[in-house]
């Protein structure tokens, strides 16, 4: 889905090929809300279909904000929740530009008097635990989002999920850090979320990715083996990533009981129990750390030569050094989101981006000047650079069909030549035109006057001879 804004933007939804028949796009609203339906057969608890509502609500007074009334977007989002909650299980995920602090997203002390309990079907809000939120500020959109949660019965998962790791900031900009990106669903759906992770910041965006998982059935988990690739052609590498050190530490803290259970009821004097203990502990450590360290590489037999990646022409050694400093500062901020690390990150990022844009402009200007010279000195080469490449047409034409086609063309040409010869035989033939020119005729040509009116004299003197040559009784 592409934004109509001149500044770019938009939303994109990616899925694996084998899930194509299980996933469908239900609705797109104002380039800001996209509803995806996932078939119930994928999940272990497959009583209902699941709807993922991806949303982007622009900040106040932005370019996108001028195109649509953001207040209407909140109303549209509320109507979407009312519609699809009756069809299945709904989850909201995206950038809402809403800062909610630790304010309640449910009605506090929502208890009915005992005298009214039997008179109404009203369901009181459950008193949920306090959300863990490092961003303690609010804004207008945050209050609207909290109001939407209270009216619709949806709750914020960030900072509240039992398997939530590193419930930290989701946005890191030049002016500061905040929590703008959320996963929201109804309280009874929390148990359907196996893991929820606020990932580390990357060089691709100012926003941290949100990672959440559902339990799926084994039959729909298509790996390389089911795609016809041998098992030994897939290599899974568990690689340590220093930038995820904080998240891994938090994950081990949350799963302390799981690790401790590996040593319970074990006889450490027995070699068998020691081996079992070490194996279970290793499996637990890998399962906890795998989401932060897993790198999978697929090797296919008979593959083509690997394509080499080259740097852009303007990517100089100086720019490479600035990029390394930027990544180093980003990793330091992911490990410890202190004010000092944030300032260092902003400075390194700004220096790198400004230098990159400058070198790119210089390169593009140089290329433009070179094309201008080529256009004047070598136009053929100039226009060849803009000539579209010929597309290779793929055809399923068989060799026998190819042979029959040209064989029939040959037969048609022979028939046409026979018809042409028949038509020529019916034409009139004048033998006088094939007769040799006599000496008398040549003498008459020599007697013509060579003056300017030679052509006129020729017409007069040859008129009688012409009649003798071309005229014949009918």
CATH number of the domain residue 155 falls in: 3.60.10.10
Same domain for 170 and 249, yes or no, is no
Distance separating alpha carbons of residues 245 and 293, to the nearest angstrom: 10
Same domain for 267 and 364, yes or no, is no
The pLDDT of residue 474: 44
Same domain for 178 and 291, yes or no, is no
The pLDDT of residue 105: 86
The pLDDT of residue 321: 93
Number of domains observed in the structure of the chain:
3
Last residue of a domain, one of 174, 194, 222: 222
Burial letters 444-455, b for 16+ CB under 10 A, else e:
eeeeeeeeeeee
Distance separating alpha carbons of residues 41 and 23, to the nearest angstrom: 11
Is residue 389 one of the residues assigned to a domain? Answer: no
Asked whether the beta carbons of 134 and 99 are under 8 A apart, the reply is no
Asked whether the beta carbons of 59 and 97 are under 8 A apart, the reply is yes
Is residue 277 one of the residues assigned to a domain? Answer: yes
Distance separating alpha carbons of residues 5 and 13, to the nearest angstrom: 19
The pLDDT of residue 422: 54
Is residue 417 one of the residues assigned to a domain? Answer: no
Helix/strand/coil for 36? strand
Same domain for 166 and 239, yes or no, is no
Burial letters 261-296, b for 16+ CB under 10 A, else e:
ebeeeeeeeeeeeeeebeebbeebbeebbebbeeee
Is residue 282 one of the residues assigned to a domain? Answer: yes
Same domain for 296 and 344, yes or no, is no
DSSP 43: B
Tokens of 352: 């790198």
Last residue of a domain, one of 171, 196, 222: 222
Same domain for 63 and 148, yes or no, is yes
The pLDDT of residue 397: 74
Asked whether the beta carbons of 169 and 178 are under 8 A apart, the reply is yes
Same domain for 239 and 212, yes or no, is no
Residues contacting 129, CB < 8 A, separation 6+: 160
Last residue of a domain, one of 328, 361, 384: 384
10 Å CB burial of residue 57 (0-12, 13-18, 19+) is buried
Same domain for 157 and 22, yes or no, is yes
Which residues, listed in sequence order, are joined to residue 25 by a DSSP beta bridge? Answer: 36
DSSP 398: -
Same domain for 347 and 294, yes or no, is no
Is residue 406 one of the residues assigned to a domain? Answer: no
The pLDDT of residue 472: 45
Distance separating alpha carbons of residues 65 and 60, to the nearest angstrom: 6
**pLDDT, tens only, 274-323:** 778 888 888 888 888 877 776 666 555 555 555 667 788 888 889 999 99
Is residue 408 one of the residues assigned to a domain? Answer: no
**pLDDT, tens only, 375-423:** 889 888 888 877 777 766 667 777 788 788 887 877 766 665 555 555 5
Same domain for 100 and 215, yes or no, is yes
| Residue carrying the six token digits 């933007």 | 9
Same domain for 369 and 287, yes or no, is no
What does residue 331 show for φ and ψ, rounded to 5 degrees?
Answer: -65, -40
Pick out the chain residues at pLDDT < 70: 1-10, 61, 63-71, 109-125, 163-167, 218-237, 268, 294-308, 391-394, 412-429, 450-474
Is residue 429 one of the residues assigned to a domain? Answer: no
Same domain for 346 and 252, yes or no, is no
The pLDDT of residue 90: 92
| Residue carrying the six token digits 């989101």 | 337
Q: Which of 73, 37, 43, 72 shows the shortest CA–CA distance to 56?
A: 73
Give the domain extent around 173.
1-111+125-222
Is residue 430 one of the residues assigned to a domain? Answer: no
């Amino acid at each position: 889905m592409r934004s109509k804004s001149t500044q770019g933007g938009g939303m994109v939804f990616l899925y694996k090929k084998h899930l194509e028949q299980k996933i469908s796009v239900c609705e797109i609203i104002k380039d800001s809300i996209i509803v995806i339906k996932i078939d119930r057969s994928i999940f272990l608890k497959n009583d209902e279909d699941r709807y993922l509502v991806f949303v982007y609500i622009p900040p106040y007074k932005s370019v996108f904000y001028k195109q649509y009334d953001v207040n209407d977007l909140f109303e549209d989002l509320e109507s979407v929740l009312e519609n699809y909650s009756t069809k299945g299980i709904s989850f909201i995920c995206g950038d809402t530009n809403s800062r909610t602090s630790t304010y309640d997203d449910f009605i506090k002390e929502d208890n009915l008097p005992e005298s009214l309990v039997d008179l109404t079907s009203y369901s009181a809000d459950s008193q949920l635990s306090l959300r863990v939120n490092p961003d303690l500020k609010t804004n207008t959109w945050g209050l609207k989002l909290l109001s939407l949660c209270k009216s619709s019965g949806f709750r914020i998962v960030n900072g509240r999920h039992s398997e939530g790791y590193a419930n930290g900031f989701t946005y890191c900009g030049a002016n500061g850090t905040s929590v703008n990106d959320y996963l929201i669903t109804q309280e009874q759906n929390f148990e359907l979320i196996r893991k929820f992770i606020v990932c580390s910041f990357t060089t691709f965006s100012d926003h941290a990715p949100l990672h959440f998982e559902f339990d799926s059935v084994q039959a729909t988990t298509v790996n390389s083996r089911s795609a016809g690739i041998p098992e030994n052609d897939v290599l899974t590498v568990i690689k340590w990533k220093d930038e995820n050190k904080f998240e891994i530490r938090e994950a081990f803290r949350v799963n302390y009981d799981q690790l401790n259970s590996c040593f319970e009821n074990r006889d450490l004097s027995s070699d068998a129990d020691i081996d079992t203990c070490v194996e279970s502990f290793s499996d637990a450590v890998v399962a906890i750390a795998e989401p932060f360290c897993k790198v999978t590489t697929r090797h296919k037999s008979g593959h083509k030569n690997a394509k080499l990646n080259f740097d852009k022409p303007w990517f100089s050694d100086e720019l490479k050094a600035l990029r390394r400093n930027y990544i180093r500062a980003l990793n330091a901020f992911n490990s410890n989101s202190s004010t000092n690390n944030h300032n260092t990150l902003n400075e390194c990022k700004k220096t790198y981006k400004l230098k990159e844009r400058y070198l790119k402009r210089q390169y593009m200007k140089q290329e433009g000047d070179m094309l201008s010279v080529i256009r004047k000195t070598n136009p053929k080469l100039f226009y060849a650079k803009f000539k579209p490449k010929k597309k290779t047409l793929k055809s399923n034409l068989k060799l026998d069909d190819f042979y029959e086609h040209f064989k029939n063309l040959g037969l048609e040409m022979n028939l046409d030549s026979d018809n042409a010869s028949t038509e020529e035989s019916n034409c009139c033939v004048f033998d006088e035109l094939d007769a040799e020119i006599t000496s008398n005729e040549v003498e008459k040509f020599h007697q013509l006057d060579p003056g300017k009116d030679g052509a006129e004299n020729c017409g007069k003197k040859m008129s009688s001879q012409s009649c003798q040559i071309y005229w014949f009784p009918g």
